Structure 1
C-alpha cells in the first residue's frame, strides 16, 4: 500500500514532467496544451497545500518545547530503568556537594532479611548489612539525619566499610529511606574528614532520600493511573527530577510544556495564593490571554480560577454549572462556553497555588484528565518544595546566620568577581574594613546575647548606609567588610565616616541596659593600592589597626600611611 509520502513523491514527479514538457515541447497540440495547463494548475494547488501543511506542522512543533526536546523527558522505556537513572543523578549530586564524598544505597530484601547494596560510587562499601548493625540500631527511626564519627565508633567502623587504611578523621552519614513509616533502605555517605560535612549538605542528602522515597511510591501510582508506558516515563521523570538550580520560572515552564503535551486547552493558568488568603497572583498563563486582570492578581471568591482555592479540592466543571467570571466581575465575557479543570497545589501541607486549564468549547474534562492533572500537580509540588528548600539552603550557605550579611567565604568570592568586573570596565573599587572598638567588654559584662544584639544592630547600620550594589559582609566576630563599587576614595571616605558617626550616635539598649559603641575603619583602593584581593584586604586591615592605635572611632586611608 502506498503511504502518504509515496503519493506526494508521485505527484511531484508528474508535475515536474509536465513543467518540462511545457518548456521544451510547447503547445504543439491544443488538446495537449490544455491538458498540460490543467495539470500545472493542479500541481501548483498541490504545492501550495503541501507548503501550508509543512509550515503548519513546523509552527505547531515550535509551540511545544517538549516534542523538540523529547529526550529530555524520556530517558528510557522502562520506569525501573528510569529509577536507576534517578539513583545515578542522586549520586552525581552528592559528589557535587563534595568530591570527597562516597555514597552507597542499600535496600531491604525480605527474602534475605538483609539490607543489600544496590548502587555505589566506590568499592569501599560492604555488600550487605544486617538490620542488627550497630549504626542502624542507633538510628531514631524518625527519618532524621544521623552523623557518626570514626573516632567514636572504631569497633563498628568495618561493619559498614571494607578493610582500608583509617585516618581517624572519617565520618559517615546514614540517611534512612522511609516508605509508609517503615525503613526501606539507607543512603550511606562517607567523608574522609569531618570538616567537609556541614548542616547544609546534610539537608541536601536528606532531601535526596525524600525524592527517592517519592519516586518509589509514584512508580506504583503511575502503574495504576496511566496505561501508556511512554506517558508513565514522562511523568515519572517529572516526579523524580533532581535539579537544585532551577528557578521558579524554569519549573513552571517545564510543567507548562508537559501539560501542553497531554491536554487540549485554550488557556492554562498557574497561580499562587497571597498571604491574605483572599487574592491570588498569576504566575504564568499559556494560550488565549483575554480578559486578564490588569494587576496580574484576582479575588479567589466568585471566580473560576479561584474555585480550587475555595473548595480546597479538585474542581471539574463549566460556566453553565458555576455562574462565575474567570478572573473578575469587570471582565467582558467573550466565551459562551467554558469547561475547566482546576487542581490545588499544597506545599508543606498548606495551600500554595493552583493549576487551571480551560476549554472555550463544549468538550468537557473527564475523570482520566482529572487523575492525570492531579499527578502532574503532585510533581509540581515536589519541584516547588525543592526550589523553596534550595533557596533556604542557598541563603544559609552564603549568609551569616546572625546578621544576614554575606559570610566570609561568599564575600571573598564576590569581591574577586567585582575586581574582575572593575578591571574589565576600568572603574574603581574601595575596600572598607570595620571593627567594633572594645567589644570584648560587652560580652564579658552584659553577656553574649547582648553582644549578638550589638553585632546585628551594627550590621544593619552599615547595610543601611551603602547601596544595594555594594558588598557588605560579616568577616568574623565583630569585624565587617564593605566593597563600594565604582567609587573613588574621596567619596568612599565620606560614606565610611558617616557609618562611624552613626554608630557613635546610636543608643544601644536591650533589657534595660544601655551602652554606647564606637567603631574603627581602614580603607584601601583598587587599582591604586593593589589589583589583588589579598593585598586590598591586607592594606585596609593595616589602615584599621592604625585607626585603633590612634584611639579608634575614625577612618584611616591606607595610602596616607604607606608613604
Structure 2
C-alpha cells in the first residue's frame, strides 16, 4: 500500500509519541524500547531528514532526563545512549541510501523523459518528412504531368490537334474543372476584353470580384480564368476554365494555364510558319505553280495509287513554242509576264484535282489522277486553244504564243515513273518536230 507523504509524517509522529509515552511509563525498560524508534524513522523518507533529527533529539533528551529523575545508573545511561546512537546511525545510513536511490531514480526518470522527448521529436520529424515527401512527390507528379502535356501540345501536327491536346491537358491538370475554347469575341463582355487587350483575366472568387458585374457569371462559375491564345501578336481564341468551387484556382494554377496556352500559341505559330515554308518550297515564286520537286513527289504518289486502284493516270508535258524569241525580242520582263499568264491559263483550264507544276524553264506538267488518255486529250485541247487565242499585252506590246503538248498514260504505256516521263517527253519533241502548236499522244 502506498502512503502519501503527509500520512507518513502523521503515522511517524503518532508512533513517536506512543514510544515516548512508553519510555516515561516503563522507565526501567527504556533501553529495550529505544530501538523501536527505528519504526517511525523508517516510515519517514529522506525529505524528512530534519524531522528525524528532531525525533532523535527528543529520544536522547527524554532518556537522559528520565535516567536523572529515576536515579538510573551510569551503565543504564550508557546503554540508553548506545541505543540512541544505533538508531541515529541507522537513520543516517537509511537517509543516505534512500537519497542516493531516489536521486538515481530521478536521473533515470529524467533520462527516460529526455528519451521520450527525443522519440516524440523523431516521430514529429518523421511525420514532417512524410508530409514533405508526399508534397514533393505530388509536385513532381504534377510537374511530370505538365511536361507530358506540353510535349503533346508542342508536337501536334496541325491546329486542330493543338487545340485538342490543349483542352485534354487542361482536363488532365485540373480534373475538377470545366473548360471552353472560345473563338468569338462577342460571346461575353469578359471574353471581348481578353480578345481586345490580349490580357488574361484571373477571378479566384466571383463573390469578391469588383471589375465585372456578378450577372456576367453563370451558376457554376465560382472561380474562373480567361486565357488568350495568340498567334503573331493577335488573339485568335480565348480559353475559359472555371470551377463551381470558389477559390479553386490559385495563382500557381493561373501560371500553369498561362504556360499551357503560351505553348499552344507558339505551336500554332510554328505550324503556320512550317506550312508557309513548305508552301514556298513547293511553289514556284514566279508562276505560283508547284515546283519540279513537288511534281516528282506527287508523281510517285499517284503511280502508287494507280497501281493499287487499277485506274489509269495521264501525264502532260507542255512547252511554250519559240519562247527564246520572246525573251530576245521583247526582253525578260515580257518573257516572265508570258510565263505567268500561260501558267494561269493552264491552271484555269485544268480540273480542281489535277496537279499543275512548272517542270522547268518554259515547260509545264500536269498530273491527271484517275484519267485515261482519251479524257486527257480533251483537257489538253482546251488548254492549247486558250493559249493560242489569248492576246498577251505587256507595256503596250501585243504578242501571241502557242504551246506544244506531249502526253502519256500509266500503266498502259509505261510501267514506272521514268518511263511515263520519257514517253511524254518524246511525244513533246515529236510535236515540235511536226510544226509545234499541237498535241501528240501516240
Is 1:300 matched up with 2:186?
Answer: yes
TM-align CA RMSD: 3.0
Match of 1:450 in 2: 334
Measure how far apart 1:493 and its partner are.
0.6
Q: 1:314 aligns with which of 200, 210, 232?
A: 200
* Superposition deviation, residue 453 in structure 1: 2.4
Residue 509 of structure 1 aligns to a residue in which SS?
Answer: strand
Structure 1 residues not aligned, in runs of 5+: 1-226, 272-279, 281-297, 327-332
Q: Deviations over 1:341-377 (max 9, x none)?
A: 1111332333333222133554553322222211222
Question: Corresponding residue for 2:168?
Answer: 257
Structure 1 Cα separation of the partners of residues 139 and 154 of structure 2: 26
1:521 is displaced (CA, Å) by 0.5
Matches within 5 A, 1:17-96: none
Report if the CA contact (8 A) 1:302-1:325 is conserved. Answer: no
Spell out the pairing of 1:40-189 with structure 2 (5 A cutoff): none
**Is 1:371 aligned with 2:255?**
yes
CA–CA separation in structure 2 for the residues paired with 1:554 and 1:301? 60
What aligned pairs does 1:108-507 form with structure 2 within 5 A after superposition? 228-236=139-147, 246-264=157-175, 266-271=177-182, 280=183, 298-300=184-186, 302-317=188-203, 322-323=212-213, 335=219, 337=221, 339-360=223-244, 362=246, 365-507=249-391
Indicate if the aligned counterparts of 1:251 and 1:384 stay in contact, CA closer than 8 A.
yes
**C-alpha separation in 2, matches of 1:357 and 1:520:** 62
Point out the structure with the larger helix share: 2
- C-alpha distance in 1 between matches for 2:215 and 2:431: 68
Decide whether the 8 Å contact of 1:428 with 1:485 is kept in 2: yes
Q: Which runs of 5+ in 2 are unaligned?
A: 1-137
| Distance in 2 (alpha carbons) for counterparts of 1:456 and 1:319 | 61
What are the superposed Cα offsets for residues 190-247 of structure 1, whole Å, 9 maximum, x if unpaired?
xxxxxxxxxxxxxxxxxxxxxxxxxxxxxxxxxxxxx934444454566677976712
Given the alignment of the two structures, is residue 542 of structure 1 paired with residue 426 of structure 2, yes or no? yes
Call closer, same or farther: CA 1:265–1:304 in 2, change over 3 Å: farther
Q: Is the 8 A contact 2:154 2:264 kept in 1?
A: no
Deviation at 1:442, TM superposition (A): 2.6
Aligned partners of 1:430 and 1:483 also within 8 Å: yes
The structure where strand makes up a greater share of residues is: 1
How far residue 266 of structure 1 moved from its aligned partner, in angstroms, is 4.9
How far, CA to CA, are the matches of 1:410 and 1:344 in structure 2?
37
Secondary structure of the structure 2 residue equivalent to 1:228: helix
